[in-house]
Amino acid sequence: MLPRSKTALLSLGLGLTLLVAACASAPYTGRRQLLLSSEGSETKMGYQAFQQIKHQYKLSRDPETNALVTKVGRRVAHAAQRPDYHWEFLVFEGKEANAFCLPGGKVGIFTGILKYTKDEPGMATVISHEVAHALARHAGERLSQSMLAQAGGLGLGVALGGMGSAASTAIMQGYSLGTQLGILLPYSRTQESEADHVGLILMAKAGYDPAQALEFWKRMMTKDKKGAKLPEFMSTHPNDASRLKELEAFLPEARKYYAPAHAAPSPPPPGPAAAIRPSSAPAAPAAPAAPVAGRWIPAPR
Contact (Cβ atoms closer than 8 angstroms) between residue 77 and residue 274: yes
Domains of the chain, by residue range, sit at: 37-137+198-223+232-263
User: What average pLDDT does the segment 122-130 reach?
Assistant: 97
pLDDT in tens, 162-192: 445 555 555 455 545 444 444 445 568 889 9
Phi, psi of 99 (to 5 degrees): -160, 165
- Please tell me the predicted confidence (pLDDT) of residue 92: 97
Determine the average pLDDT of the residues in 47-59.
93
Q: Which whole number is the average pLDDT over 11-28?
A: 62
37 or 279, which is more confident: 37
Number of Cβ atoms within 10 Å of the Cβ of 286: 8
Given a cut of 60, is residue 114 above it in pLDDT?
yes
pLDDT of residue 151: 58
More confident residue, 213 or 144: 213
Reply yes or no on whether the pLDDT at 138 is more than 70. yes
The pLDDT value given to residue 228: 52
Q: What is the pLDDT of residues 228-265, one digit of tens each?
A: 554 544 456 678 888 999 999 999 999 999 988 754 44
Chain mean pLDDT for the chain: 75
Question: What percent of the chain is predicted at pLDDT more than 70?
Answer: 60
DSSP bridge pairs for 91: 109
Q: Structure pTM?
A: 0.72
- What CA–CA distances, in Å, run from 131 to 12, 43, 199? 36, 13, 7
Q: What secondary structure letter does DSSP report for 37? A: S
pLDDT at position 188:
81
Rounded distance, CA 120 to CA 152, Å?
47
- For the cut 70, the answer to whether the pLDDT of residue 110 exceeds it is yes
pLDDT at residue number 112: 95
pLDDT band at 133, cuts 50/70/90? very high
